[in-house]
Structure 1
Amino acid sequence: METIVSIKPVLAVLSSLLAVPLILRTGDRPNLREFWSILAGVIKFSIVISMAPAILSGHTIEYTLVTFFQGVSIKFRVDALGMVFATVSSFLWIVTTFYSIGYMRSNKEQSQTRYYTCFAISLASAVGVAFSGNLVTLFVFYEFLSLATVPLVGHKETPEAIEGARKYFLYLLSLSKTLLLAAIIIVFVVTGTTDFQSDGLLSQHAATPLLFVAFFFFLYGFAKGAVMPLHNWLPSAMVAPTPVSALLHAVAVVKVGVFSILRVVFHVYGVDMMTSLNLGVTAAYVVSFTIIAASVIALTKDNLKARLAYSTVSQLSYVILGAVLLTPSGMVGGIVHIANHAFSKITLFFCAGSLYTAAHKTEVSQLSGIGKKMPWTMAAFFIGSLSMIGVPIAAGFVTKWYLAVGSIEAHQIPILMVLLASTVLNAAYFLPITYKAFFQKEDHSEAAEHGDHDHHEEIREIPMVVVPLVLTAIISLVIGIYPNYFLSLAQEVIR
């Protein structure tokens, strides 16, 4: 495997950071301000995708920015795993920016310049994590992402929003500064470096109880992965505007969490060390609890964004589950779910925002008959739901197929039962929403009783909001039918 030295990963990170002063300077000219966001997104995606041919050919791109002392440096590394996450996050930033323009303007949201500024810093941090060459660099960008997204969570500046941002900040920062930092120090003391290696940084070292404990420091220290019981920050962050929720729950924040855990599994511990310590089976059962418990909680939520939030908690653990099965099919399933979940879940959050913007509906119980007035929104929601459930030909089917095969390869029939049970639960909390929207009539008396006078006959979809959600819904079908790009990258990771 050839290593190519190139500054491209640094440029991919800088492209959105350089847009920050331009966004700030043009805050009083919305069209120009948002043009810089879109331009930076296009440049970032172009740089990322330009590296794909080399990565698919089995090469790795590296660039060391600065070395502090031996074994500790700010180093960038582009490989197949990083390319999966970077492709998804950089492309969806462009789509989310267009969606944000329609949403923020239609709802006359405050502090829009701050919003786009933090958005740009967040995506720079996410790509920085994707292209980190060692644990030190990953930790730095992980922390930047936490700080940049706090103002987004508290954007509305209501008491509820401030409390949600406070909980978000305390959860993520406290766990990274304790468990995560301790785990990184342990790895450095054992190996003398933190650089990622294809076969695992710890592969040549003895399996010890300390390394067993350190793995769970990583699992819970990367709290953005939302493994129970350290998941409560995620539903609390739902007070943010919907584009922020889409960013948090489908692209940047939560995917940074599970992506970082996959980095640890594949390139810090490695399959052999994970097997020696019996960490694969142990972690698989830990995250299986999250998959089932979060799905059960989602069933109880009437608030649409809350239901989607607990669905996200559950779905994130599919990524980790696939990796820790330590079988070829399981690992491929976990990696491709980074992309499959991103396109499907962002579609669902976009739909929730469309419902709020056009109809001011936030509860599932309010959606009876709304499909006739918002057909594009609810059709896209249905497609996203099918992917979450795992129905062919949607993207989520690819994930669940590989995870199911992987659990059989690992001789873990209980894990297969978890996958089947979670699929039933997915259907139970998603399909009734589509049924209510298209096949139930609006109950005007119930709406009046709750003080809801915005009858469906007055509702009109907003094109600037609808176009992005239709696009992501279509893409979630396309990558379900033609998953070759992400499958090729996933197979390159485990080769």
Structure 2
Amino acid sequence: MMNWFLENPGLRPVMAVFVTMAASGLIFVMGDHVRQNVREAITFIAAIFNCAIVISLVPHVLAGENMRVSLFQIAEGVDLSFSPDAAGMVFACVSSTLWILTSLYSVGYMRGHHEKHQTGYYAAFAMCISAVMGLCFASNLLTFFIFFEILTVATYPLVVHYRDEEGRRSGRKYLAYTLISGQLFFAGIVILYVLTGTLEFKAGGFVSPDLLPGPAMLTLFFLMVGAGMVKAGVMPFHSWLPAAMVAPTPVSALLHAVAVVKAGAFATIRVVFFVFGPDAARACGGAEILSYFAVATIWISSFIALRKDNLKARLAFSTIGQLSYIVLGVSMLSPFGAVGGLYHIVAHAFMKITLFMCAGAVYVTTGKKNISEMVGIGRRMPVTMTCFTIASVAVAGFPLFVGFVSKGNLVMGAVSVQSPLYAATYIASGVLALAYLLPVVFTAFKRDVINMEFQERGEASLPMLVPIVVTTAVVFILGVAPDAGLHLYSMAVSAGHQIFGTIGVGI
């Protein structure tokens, strides 16, 4: 069995997709009557197996091997097929790794908060990761679209987890935004297939700049990139995302750090760099317009975050701005922007999941949701709030933390395209991040007010605390050594080379 696995690396992407899908089905079929331990064991086994498969692909991708595998034909000349590349591997490595940590955190949260509907939760969570693996490894637009939509549907039960009116209302809004934009995406795919006869991803794009007249090409560009904009929370298509905060905190972490919003950012990367390519995106004017959406989103979301007292809501608007870092990096159409955007998938995932897990740990342990209620909570939960502090300064882009690496490349991308607006946006957003995150830290460690409720130490349970500490450590390690572990920085640089040629990229 091991020899077969080693000798057939091309089948591993298929295994990564379907092992998590099988786990989801098994959890769902076993139902609520099964013991918690069994349900959680299935989740952990699938998560570890999935991560091992993904990690085993890293050397092959770095070596530039072609591992394309086709399962069956979907349309004339278009197969359901997978082909791991550097860009997809960055997202796949982050998602599969964080699924293990999020699963451990989920055990502590779901048990500690005595959550209902845990079977549906774990089954939907596994299906979401399966969908992410599918779109990471998809070799063409149609395969990508199928898993993009599976992700949308699989996330819905998580958003409406509590089955109350607020949850159902948020779920309806989520589906309206994502399904409508998804159908427009599909319309664009059909048009492109009719015009070009192919849907295969190609680094640098396969669309000719003169495929259509200017206005028609611009319309096609936004038909296809719009679905990514919606899932990434680009304003004004963002309101589904704060509404989805009614879900449990592990779901918020999934939505904001691992799967859905990152899928939107990744879809933007695929459409701009692997379908249209820099030349066509620039010629139709789509990239420039997209950049203005991203700039506006970064500024506006940061100011809104300043006004939010609910900690999860503040983090939600922070996510909206941070995801537009990636969108802006892509729309600059520069090597530094591409590398910075791809690596910010990594940086933001670890930084923001740390912040959300800290918020969840506080809620489960103390019942506090609002920042104004957390005065002195650092005395009771020093480890949790120290991790929150580290992740906060990392989000602002401080040196020695992972946010500095991705943001450094993005700022250099702005300089390389000679845009003071882009550079100023990235720099100012770092200051604004400090303005809306450090008050949480100051409130937590405030000493001039004695809150008897927080006098005795009482951290969250170990299943919640361990993932927080691990992701915080990664935030520091990847800031000091960006290529440590899975060589994610090298893969981001490799993707930049594939898109733009042998231009020097990366800091």
TM-score class, shorter-chain normalisation, is over 0.9
Give the drift of 1:467: 0.9
Question: Of residues 161, 171, 181 in structure 1, which corresponds to 2:167?
Answer: 161
Aligned length: 482
Question: Of residues 210, 219, 233 in structure 2, which corresponds to 1:226?
Answer: 233
Question: Of residues 24, 33, 41 in structure 1, which corresponds to 2:47?
Answer: 41
Return the alpha-carbon distance in structure 1 between the equivalents of residues 208 and 57 of structure 2.
28
Q: Aligned to 1:78, what secondary structure does the other structure show?
A: coil
Return the alpha-carbon distance in structure 2 between the equivalents of residues 272 and 491 of structure 1.
20
User: What amino acid is the match of 2:201?
Assistant: F
Q: Does 1:267 align with 2:265?
A: no
Structure 1, residues 457-484: CA drift from partner, whole Å, max 9, x if none? 3662122211111111111111111112
Please list, as runs of the form range in 1=range in 2, the aligned pairs for 1:14-93 lying within 5 A after superposition: 14-24=18-28, 25=30, 27=32, 28-93=34-99
Contact 1:370–1:442 (CA under 8 A) maintained in structure 2? no
Structure 1, residues 423-472: CA drift from partner, whole Å, max 9, x if none? 1111100111111111344465xxxxxxxxx9223662122211111111
Return the alpha-carbon distance in structure 2 between the equivalents of residues 443 and 175 of structure 1.
50
Give the drift of 1:397: 0.6
Please list, as runs of the form range in 1=range in 2, the aligned pairs for 1:333-352 lying within 5 A after superposition: 333-352=340-359
User: What amino acid is the match of 1:142?
Assistant: F
Return the alpha-carbon distance in structure 2 between the equivalents of residues 99 and 20 of structure 1.
18
Structure 1: segments with no counterpart, 5+ residues: 445-453
Name the structure 1 match of 2:412. 405
Q: Aligned to 1:60, what secondary structure does the other structure show?
A: coil
Contact 1:207–1:276 (CA under 8 A) maintained in structure 2? no
Name the structure 2 match of 1:414. 421
Q: Aligned to 1:7, what secondary structure does the other structure show?
A: helix
Please list, as runs of the form range in 1=range in 2, the aligned pairs for 1:27-426 lying within 5 A after superposition: 27=32, 28-177=34-183, 179-203=184-208, 206=211, 208-209=213-214, 210-222=216-228, 223-426=230-433
Contact 1:23–1:34 (CA under 8 A) maintained in structure 2? no
Q: Aligned to 1:51, what secondary structure does the other structure show?
A: helix
Give the drift of 1:175: 1.7
Return the alpha-carbon distance in structure 1 between the equivalents of residues 180 and 456 of structure 2.
47
Deviating more after overlay: 277-286 vs 307-316:
277-286
Give the drift of 1:65: 1.2
Q: Aligned to 2:83, what secondary structure does the other structure show?
A: strand
Identical aligned residues as a percent: 42
Structure 1, residues 249-278: CA drift from partner, whole Å, max 9, x if none? 000111011001100111101122223223
Structure 1, residues 391-445: CA drift from partner, whole Å, max 9, x if none? 111111111111111101001111111112211111100111111111344465x
Give the drift of 1:69: 3.2
Q: Aligned to 1:18, what secondary structure does the other structure show?
A: helix
Return the alpha-carbon distance in structure 2 between the equivalents of residues 162 and 256 of structure 1.
23
Return closer, same or farther for 1:421/1:38 CA change in 2, 3 Å cut-off: same
User: What amino acid is the match of 2:163?
Assistant: E
User: What amino acid is the match of 1:317?
Assistant: S
Name the structure 1 match of 2:471. 472
Q: Aligned to 2:67, what secondary structure does the other structure show?
A: strand
Return the alpha-carbon distance in structure 1 between the equivalents of residues 77 and 341 of structure 2.
30
Return the alpha-carbon distance in structure 2 between the equivalents of residues 407 and 128 of structure 1.
32
Contact 1:13–1:128 (CA under 8 A) maintained in structure 2? yes
Q: Does 1:12 align with 2:16?
A: yes
Return closer, same or farther for 1:382/1:60 CA change in 2, 3 Å cut-off: farther
User: What amino acid is the match of 1:437?
Assistant: A
Structure 2: segments with no counterpart, 5+ residues: 1-7, 498-507
Return closer, same or farther for 1:379/1:249 CA change in 2, 3 Å cut-off: same
Contact 1:347–1:469 (CA under 8 A) maintained in structure 2? yes
Return the alpha-carbon distance in structure 1 between the equivalents of residues 156 and 365 of structure 2.
27
Structure 1, residues 15-44: CA drift from partner, whole Å, max 9, x if none? 111112432327421111101100101111
Name the structure 1 match of 2:4. none
Cα RMSD after superposing both structures: 1.6
